[in-house]
């Protein structure tokens, strides 16, 4: 596996030990077929910074994508989330400013490479042009939360259904965006987190009425 993708520094090795423990807890109750297959083949390290961890892949995406035929994902990374969403739609369009090679191996191994189309963009203008040219009826927004949350939302809201990542806790921009949207158009995907029964997931869905 690409060492640049998984740097073996002392700090990262320590972080991976924690990740291994977290993933073992999550996988003990995960029912998502794709996540389980990826975990068994690639291990916990492949889930570094993945936004579809085992504790909500099977609880949120099936509900959010119900009735959708295509979804746009902003923020591909190594392709795990795109692979999870490919179970529920005919086509996944996914974009990122970094072209990690691991995702192609993953999608081919899962046999879903024809269902996913990746676009490597270099700037916001290219992102805008791409979004304007693609037809999709749902969007999973997991790009640069600090700088592009609002602009991303205004670009993709035409689809009428957007899932916001990391939209629960202040002071994230996705939190402020969720708070600014009409309450009757917002869905909080709640489920109990082990040891924290009142804690919400980090995902908020918006649907245009």
Domains of the chain plus CATH, in order, are 49-207 (3.40.50.150)
CA pair distance 201, 55, nearest whole angstrom = 9
Q: What is the pLDDT of residue 43?
A: 86
Average pLDDT, the chain: 85
Q: What is the pLDDT of residue 59?
A: 83
Q: What is the pLDDT of residue 22?
A: 75
Mean pLDDT of 167-172: 72
Is the pLDDT reported for residue 16 higher than 70? no
pTM of the entire predicted model: 0.86
Is the pLDDT reported for residue 30 higher than 90? no
Mean pLDDT of 41-56: 78
Is the pLDDT reported for residue 5 higher than 50? no
Is the pLDDT reported for residue 194 higher than 60? no
Mean pLDDT of 146-168: 91
The percentage of residues in the chain with a pLDDT greater than 70, rounded to a whole number, is: 83
Q: Using one digit for the tens of pLDDT, what is the confidence trace for 83-106?
A: 999 999 999 999 999 999 999 999
The region of weakest confidence among 56-65, 67-76, 91-100, 186-195 is 186-195
Is the pLDDT reported for residue 195 higher than 50? no
Mean pLDDT of 178-195: 78
Q: What is the pLDDT of residue 143?
A: 85
């Amino acid at each position: 596996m690409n060492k640049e993708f998984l740097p073996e520094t002392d700090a990262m090795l320590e972080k991976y030990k924690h990740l291994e423990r977290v993933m073992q807890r999550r996988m003990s109750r995960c029912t998502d077929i794709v996540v389980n297959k990826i975990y068994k083949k690639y291990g916990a390290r492949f889930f570094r910074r993945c936004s579809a961890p085992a504790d909500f892949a099977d609880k949120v995406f099936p509900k959010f994508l119900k009735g959708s035929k295509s979804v746009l994902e902003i923020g591909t990374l190594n392709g795990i989330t795109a692979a999870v969403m490919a179970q529920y739609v005919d086509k996944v369009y996914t974009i990122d400013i970094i072209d990690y090679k691991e995702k192609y191996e993953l999608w081919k191994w899962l046999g879903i490479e024809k269902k996913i189309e990746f676009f490597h963009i270099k700037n916001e203008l290219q992102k805008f042009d791409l979004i304007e040219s693609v037809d999709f009826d749902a969007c999973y927004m997991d790009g640069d939360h600090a700088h592009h949350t609002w602009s991303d939302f205004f670009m993709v809201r035409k689809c009428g259904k957007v899932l916001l990542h990391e939209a629960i806790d202040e002071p994230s921009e996705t939190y402020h965006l969720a708070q600014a949207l009409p309450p009757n158009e917002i869905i909080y995907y709640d489920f109990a987190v082990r040891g924290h029964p009142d804690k919400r997931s980090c995902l908020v869905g918006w649907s245009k009425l």
